[in-house]
């Protein structure tokens, strides 16, 4: 499939004041069912990545997000179709996150992240950006 036609997926990586990262659990019956994830989803045709992130965070975890920085991207062959996934560091948010679609959502200490519980593309993001401590410069640097 040519790159122009491929679906775009945007995901957000958010840290709270305690340095914990926001994680959700994918529900049964979807691609990568029951694995952990960073909230996000597919970009719609009329949307920019930022608009999609704002919408997905409102829909999935009930918070308003702002101030994004692209930290990792990758083409994925996917379980049913290929997509291109973009991970954004989200520097500001308003509200208290909860599982607005009935899913489990929680804050995780960075030293408790088991990357094997995430989909493959997210494992690479975690290995390249979080476990290397690269995120510390972006947040506090
Ligand atoms: N949200 C999210 N999706 C991920 C991650 N890693 C990863 O490979 N994916 C994949 C799973 C899906 O195949 C694809 C799209 O994400 P999604 O299922 O959340 O899409 P969506 O919210 O738009 O859901 P839907 O409308 O299709 O039900 O991205 C991740 O860390 N977070
Ligand atoms: Mg989603």
Q: List, for residues 77-94, the tens digit of each pLDDT value.
A: 988 899 999 999 999 999
- The answer to the question of residue 127 being in a domain is yes
Domain interval for residue 83: 7-140
Residue 39 known to bind ligand: yes
- Is 118 among the domain residues? yes
pTM: 0.95
| Ligand 1 centroid distance, CA of 140 (Å) | 28
User: What CATH number does residue 102 fall under?
Assistant: 3.90.79.10
Check whether 3 has a pLDDT greater than 80.
no
Which of 4-8, 34-38, 58-62 has the least mean pLDDT?
A: 4-8
The whole-angstrom separation of Cα 134 and Cα 136 is 5
pLDDT at 28 over 80: yes
Query: Containing H/E element for 90?
Result: strand 83-94
What is the predicted pLDDT for the residue at 1? 65
59 CB-near residues (< 8 Å, 6+ apart): 41, 100, 101
pLDDT category, 5, cuts 50, 70, 90? confident
Please report the atom of ligand 1 found closest to the CA of residue 121.
8
* Domain presence at residue 1: no
Q: Is 99 in the pocket of ligand 1 (CB under 6 A)?
A: no
* Residue 73 covered by a domain: yes
What is the tally of structural domains in the chain?
A: 1
Assess if residue 133 is contained within a domain: yes
Q: Are 25 and 39 in contact (CB under 8 A)?
A: no
């Amino acid at each position: 499939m040519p790159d122009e036609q491929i679906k775009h997926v945007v995901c957000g990586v958010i840290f709270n004041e305690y340095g914990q990262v926001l994680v959700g659990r994918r529900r049964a019956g979807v691609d990568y069912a029951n694995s952990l994830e960073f909230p996000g989803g597919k970009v719609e045709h009329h949307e920019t990545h930022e608009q999609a992130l704002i919408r997905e965070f409102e829909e999935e975890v009930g918070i308003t997000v702002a101030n994004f920085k692209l930290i990792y991207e990758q083409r994925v062959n996917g379980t049913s179709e290929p997509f291109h996934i973009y991970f954004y560091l989200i520097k500001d948010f308003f509200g208290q996150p909860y599982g607005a679609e009935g899913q489990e959502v929680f804050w995780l200490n960075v030293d408790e992240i088991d990357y094997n519980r995430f989909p493959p593309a997210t494992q690479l993001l975690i290995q390249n950006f979080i476990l290397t401590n690269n995120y510390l410069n972006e947040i506090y640097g």
